[in-house]
Structure formats: structure tokens, C-alpha cells
Structure 1
Amino acid sequence: MFYLTILIILLATKLAGDLTARLGQPAVVGKLLVGIIIGPAMLGWVENSHMIEELSEIGVLLLMFMAGLETNIEDLKRSFKSSTAVALGGIALPMLGGYLVGIAIGMDSSKAIFLGLLLSATSVSISVQSLKDLGLLKSKESTTMLGAAILDDILVVILLAFVMSMVGGEEVNLAMVIGYKFIFFVIVALFIWKIAKWVMNWLAPLRVTEAIISAGLILCFFLAYVAEQFGVAGIIGAFAAGLAISQTDYKHEVEHKLQPIAYTIFVPIFFVSVGFSVSFKGLGSQIGLLILFFVVALLTKLIGSGLGARLTGYSRRSALGIGSGMVSRGEVALIIATIGLESGLLEREYFTVLVIVVILTTLVTPLLLKATLGKQQQNQPDIEH
């Protein structure tokens, strides 16, 4: 049965991606939608499983690893001011919007604060694929989004620790949480500066098959593991690994050989698995709440992050594009929602609605990026998929 599941996923994602590309939309839109269609929500041809979840995790790590490989670290440094403004705007406005909505629907202050925190999360893994589809992954806007996503992840995790310590009934050492983040980024800096090059130079000459790509993947999974040990999302560690290898002579070979591995099986499974969390059961009575949460989630991130970009010199179109790229909440928000459910800060009646909102923000992000930045596609170099 597992083999049939993989067969269906691969065939469905390739056909759906081709169809949406022919319709002039990013291929990732079709790949995401087909996950809902063939998943438990509709046809039920494939079911989620532990194995699918693990393969999906590898897919998102490889996606962010490739994004790191294609990112110019000097551009990342130059966009630091813009990235900071985008991250802060993309946290402040969703926090405020989520809090006000929570109070308006009858939540107490602690639960409303948690709702605002959940809506502040950002996951740019889908945005990365959309930018690749549009040929914009090496653009200035893309670099700013990636930098902002890293800062967003760190700030949201710190805020989560603070909220849990204040209102979640859990003892959390905030100084230790911040210290862990600092140590992780020191490790990343060391890898970018020297360690990645040393490791690649040591492993690349090994007389085994595909030593160079194997060395790259070893670094990818190592930094993803280290990131999670220090309380940072694994995708940030994978991105950092790609960034570190991009400073070595092995960048192009790793990039060229990784794409067939990633896009043949792991990344398609990740896209389809996004839709597996969707369930339409009992949703009719909560449709008003769903629309309200979705509108708040969309507008607060779009305006907040977009305003941060606008204030740091981007044109209106580019600012809207950057705001669009930050809309997807992805797996980061799902993790926070699960924590809230377990700690009592998020009631079960809101959990399912918010999971669907997270999925909707993920689905709408490629469309927003196409509408705002798509016209720049002809001015960008072609990027191999």
C-alpha cells in the first residue's frame, strides 16, 4: 500500500503542477491543491502516515537547503535593515490583530495573546518554491524575505517562551532561551566562515560514490539537528547549511546534483502532505470564524511586512510582494497551535479552524506572489527546477 501511495503522490503532483503552470500560475499551487483533493479531506486516495510525515520533513529541509545554496550572503548582509523591518512589522501587526480578534470573540487576555502570537509566525518554504517557479529566487525581494523569515522565527520562539512563562503555567527560563539562539547563530557563523569548507574538503575526496553531494547533505542534516536542539526550526538550520556551502567551491556541484534528489520524491511529498491536515467535517457552523481569522491572518502579515519593506526603500509593488511572501504560516504556526492546544492556551473549537487558516495562507501565498512580483519574471535569469 505504501508503494501505491508514493505512486499516486508523484503522479498527482506532476500532473497538477503541469496544469497550473499551463494556466499561468506557479506550479506549486497545483501541487498544494492536489494534496487536499487526493487526501482525507476529499477523495481519500492517500492517508497520512508516520512515514509520509518523515519524508515530508526531509522534503522541506531540502527545499530550504537549496534556497541557502542559491542565496548570496553579501546580499543577505545588505538586506539586513529591510529584513529586520519586515520581520518586526510582520510580527507586531499580526500580534495586535490576533489579540483584538481574540478579545472580540470572548477569549481571555492570555488566550488572545497566544492567538496573536500564532498569527505572527511565518514559514517561507512555500514562498521559496513559488519564487523559484517565477525565476525570482535570486532577487533582492527574495533575499529580504529569507532574512526576515529567519528573524521572524527567532523572535516568535522567544515570544512563545515569554508567553508560556507568563501565562502558560510553565516555568521557562527566558534568558536561557535567548542564550540558546545566540549560541546557535555563533555555530552557524563558524560554519559559514570556516567549518563548512573544512568538512567539504575532508569528505569530498573520499573514494565513494557521490562523495560531494553526500558531504553537503551531511552538513544539511547536521545543522538542521543542531537548530532543533537549540530551539530553532530545523528549516533554519538547513538554510544555514546551504548558505555555508554556497561560500565554498562545491556550491554548483551540490546544487546541480541535489535538485534531482529533492524534486523527484521528497519535495512533492512535502507539498501534498500540507493538504493532509485539512478536514471539512463540522466546518459549516464555523465558517464565519474561519473567514474572520483568515482575513486577519492575511491582511496583518501583508500590511505589516509590506510596510516594513516600504519604509526601507522598496517600491509599492516590491513591498507588496515581500508582504505576500511572508503570509504563509506553514509548519511553524501548526507547531505553535499544537503547543497551545496541549497547554490549554488554545481551545479545541478554534484549533481545527486555525489549522485550515494556516493551510489557506499557504495556498494563497503563491497566488499573491504571482500577482505582485510575477511581472518581473522576464527580467530574471532562468532557474533550473
Structure 2
Amino acid sequence: MTLVLLLLQTAAILAACRLLHGIAGRFGQPPVIGEIVAGLLLGPSFFGWIAPSLYARLFPAASLPALNELSQIGLVLFMFLVGLHLDLTEVHALRRVAGLAGLLSIVVPFALGLALARPLHVLAPSSPMLPFSLLIAIAMSITAFPVLARILADQKLTATKLGHIAIACAALNDVLAWSILAWVVAISRAHQSMLGEASALGPFVILVAYIVGMFAIIRPALRWFTGRITATSELSVMLIFVFLSSSVTELAGFHALFGAFLAGVIWPRSDSKRDAVAAKIEPLATTMLIPLFFSYTGLRTDVGALGVNLGLTALVIALAIAGKVGGAFMGARITGFDVRNALALGVLLNTRGLVELIVLNVGLDLGLLPPALFSMMVIMALVTTAITTPVLKAVLPQEYRRTAAS
């Protein structure tokens, strides 16, 4: 792959994402919707269909590994920022409502995902059943924390009780989902090495020890160290730390993204320089590198490959919505929410977005998801994210927004 080709690919991807970003905004959708659609349009589903020769020249198969590696750097930075913006004290402060609603919003779709995994397994007969089932369950139960935060801000719900609880539930969801995904990666890699599921126990013990060490030793050391350096130096330390943490979890048999997420979770919150330093990383990750990931996902997605599986795709979408909205609704009602606000919480937690695509790409890279099933789940991620804002407006119109703060 030549440098010129990589530069042309990057220019085309950024232009498409920027264009669709603006169009999505005009329809009241979060930017991620435009970027996901841009990725799909650049892939075989549209660009490869209307201009196959030009598509083959701009995105030859041999060029995809380099594009993927570049996008992975963006994902590492993105997952670090997700962890950095998680406020676990929010979960503790709202533990009664967020605990029950958040837990049910995970458990119900997770259980539906486990049940759905068996009929879906006919599309992936070579995938080991345990990691495949867990991956489908995670994909059905994930919430996109960054997209949720953006929707709350756009709808002016961030400072409301509903907004605080939604953020707390999403934080709990992210911690549980990424912990389970790390286990799935370990089990899958153990199968690939022909050692069996029991061999995943060793890496898992290492990961638990790593997490304990990060919280008990590294976090206090970081708090002490970052309080004695400038913001410029902290940016360098932050980048070095996130890449080292990602390397450790990748080498331990888990995905690098879990290490990045954990690095963000333990980074000191008391330091006033944190937001300023994070603001320097975010534009690079979200404006340049993340669009490369959307396009890489689009290049691996072929909507035409769904074929006779359109009915199954509709079933996956319906169960994903029913499980997520229904679980959160039940939890919120039990803790005293009225029907309207309980339903609004479920609708908010149903957004999946970029985080879902990350999970699906991990599954595809591990060989757990075949292309047809991968495409099916990408469509589910797009639909569940796209319906969030319009359904939220219908469930919680402007005249009822004041009840969200009560």
C-alpha cells in the first residue's frame, strides 16, 4: 500500500463523514448516525455496487490492514476517553435507581441475546458456542455511553434527574459489558490455540490482578505524579500510559481496548488539568481516526449479503429494542418512576452507536461472527441508535420535560 493511496482514502472518508454528519444533524440525529451511514455508503453496499472498478482501486483488499491499524489507534484513544468521562461516583450516588434500572437494562437483553444465540449459530456453525453466545448477548445489551451523553445534551436533559440516572446506568453497563467482552476474547483465543476454555482462566486471573494493581497502586501514584507536572507534560504522560496499558491487556490475551478503557477509568479526576488535556486528544480521535473506523466497518459490511435473512434481522432488532427498553422500564417503575419517564430511560439506554460497532468488529476479528451476521448486527446498531431521538421526543415532549427533573 502506498502513502498516496492511504492519504486519498483518508480524504475520501473524512469528506463523506463530514457531509453525512451535517445531513444527520438536519434530521435531529447525533453525528454518529451520519458517520455510520457514511461508512456503509463507502463500502460494497453502495460505492462498490455503483462504481465497482473505482471502489476496487480506492479500497483494494490489500490496503485494508493498514487502514485498520490506523483506526485501531483511534479506538484506543476513544476508549480511553470513554473511561475518562465515566463518573463512578454518579453510580454510587444514584445506586438504588441506577443499580436496579441499569442492572435490568443489561440482564434482560443479555438473557434474550443468550436465547437468540442458538438460532443465530446456524449462520456461524464453526464458532465455539460459549464465546459466540456471550458475544451476541453483549451486542444485545450494550449502551453507547458517548452517544447517550450527546443525545442528553442535545435534548437539554443532562442536568435532570433522568439524565443523571441514564448516565449512571450507562456507566454501569460499560463496566460490565467490557469486563465480559474481555473474558469472551480470552475464551475465543484459548479455543483458537486448541487449549480449550479452561485455559482462559490463567489470563483472566492476570487481568483481575492487573485491575486490582491499577486501582490500588497505579491510581494513587498517578494522582501524586500528575499533581506535580504541567498540562503539556501530562498530555505526554497520558498518551504513554494509555498505550502501555493497552499493550499489557493485548499481550495478556485480552483486547487492547480494555486496557485503554481501564486506563481512562483510573486516571485521576481531582486534577483540574484533566479536561484541558483530554480536550487535546478528543479532536484527533473523533474527527480523524474514528471516521476511519466507521469506514473500515462499512468496508466489511455488505447489506446485500443479508438476502433471505431480512426476517431474522428484523427479529434481532425487535428483541434488542424490547430487551433494552423493557428491562430499563421495569427497573425504573419498581424504583418509583412514572410511566413516561421510565419509558424515556429505556429509550435512552437503547442507543448503541459506535460502542456496538467496536464489539461487533472484535467479534468479526476473532472469527466468531461471519460477514452476513456481522452485517445484520451492524444494521441493528444503526436502527436502534437512529430511533432514539425521535422516539424520545414522542415519549417525552417539551411540555413534560420538567418531570424529568423531579
1:168 Cα offset (Å): 10
Give a deviation string over 1:143-200, Cα, whole Å, max 9, x none.
Answer: 3213212212223444676689899964233542442332132133136741222443
Paired residue type of 1:88: V
Which deviations, in whole Å up to 9, do the C-alpha atoms of 1:17-43 show, x marking residues without a partner?
011101211121111101111223321
Q: Which residue of 1 aligns with 2:376?
A: 357
Bigger fraction of residues in helix: 2
Partner of 1:148: 173
Aligned partner of 1:278 among 295, 298, 301: 301
Measured on the aligned residues, the alpha-carbon RMSD in Å equals 3.9
TM-superposition CA deviations, 1:98-141 (whole Å, max 9, x none): 23x358x6998996655532311249685513532542677331
Matched with 2:213 is 187
* C-alpha separation in 2, matches of 1:27 and 1:252: 22
Aligned to 1:116: 133
Partner Cα separation in structure 2 for residue 168 and residue 67 of structure 1: 31
Query: Contact 1:127–1:366 (CA<8 Å) still a contact in 2?
Result: no
User: Which residue of structure 2 lines up, in the alignment, with residue 69 of structure 1?
Assistant: 84
What secondary structure is seen at the aligned counterpart in 2 of 1:25? coil
Give structure 1 stretches of 5+ with no counterpart: 381-385
Q: Separation in 2 of the partners of 1:308 and 1:233?
A: 32
Q: 1:321 corresponds to which residue? A: 347
Distance verdict in 2 for CA 1:320–1:165, change over 3 Å: same
User: Identity, % of aligned pairs?
Assistant: 23
Task: Provide the residue aligned with 1:131 in structure 2.
Answer: 149
Aligned match of 2:33: 29
Indicate yes or no: 2:30 matched with 1:17: no
In 1, Cα distance between equivalents of 2:397 and 2:81? 22
Q: Are the aligned partners of 1:64 and 1:128 in contact in 2 as well (CA < 8 Å)?
A: no
Distance 2:335 2:126 in 1: 33
What SS class does the counterpart of residue 374 from structure 2 fall into? helix
1:1-385 pair list within 5 angstroms: 1-44=5-48, 45=55, 46-47=58-59, 49-78=64-93, 81-82=99-100, 83-99=102-118, 101-102=119-120, 115-122=132-139, 126-135=144-153, 139-158=164-183, 170-171=195-196, 172-190=198-216, 193-201=219-227, 204=230, 210-243=232-265, 244-280=267-303, 282-304=305-327, 307=330, 315-325=341-351, 329-341=356-368, 351-371=370-390, 373=392
8 Å CA contact 2:297–2:361 kept in 1: the answer is no
| Residues 65 and 174 of structure 1, relative CA distance in 2, 3 Å threshold | closer
Q: Distance in 2 between matches of 1:377 and 1:276?
A: 40
Alignment gaps of 5+ in structure 2: 49-54
Distance 1:160 1:257 in 2: 31
219-228 vs 305-314, greater mean Cα deviation: 305-314
* Offset from partner CA, 1:63-97 (integer Å, 9 cap, x none): 23223333323113345634444433342221123
Give the TM-score, by structure 1 length: 0.78
Partner of 2:51: none
Number of equivalences: 366
Q: Distance in 2 between matches of 1:149 and 1:90?
A: 14
Q: Which moved more, 1:19-28 or 1:274-283?
A: 274-283
